[in-house]
Amino acid sequence: MMNGLFAIDADELRVLGAGTSMANWREVATNETQRALEYIRSELGSLGASVSIEHLRWAYLAGPRVDDPRGIQT
């Protein structure tokens, strides 16, 4: 189940977001949360197995973005 801004229909977002700061938001957010999920699962093993993409999407929407000194966007 998609929540928050991830729940907006992709076609609708493409039309309504054209020419705004939201134009590429969904693609970027989907890629970043998927990369984060892969990292968590590979680094945390069985502990990371309980983390879902939905957890990360809520965290992505709620959390501040801080530049990590290793070049990772968090």
> What is the rounded distance in angstroms from the CA atom of residue 69 to the CA atom of residue 32?
17
pLDDT, position 30: 85
Burial class of residue 30 (count of CB atoms within 10 Å of its CB; 0-12, 13-18, 19+): middle
- Is the distance from CB of 72 to CB of 17 less than 8 angstroms? no
The larger pLDDT score, comparing residue 6 to residue 37, is at: 37
pLDDT, position 20: 81
Give the start-to-end residue ranges of the domains of the chain. 4-62
The larger pLDDT score, comparing residue 62 to residue 50, is at: 50
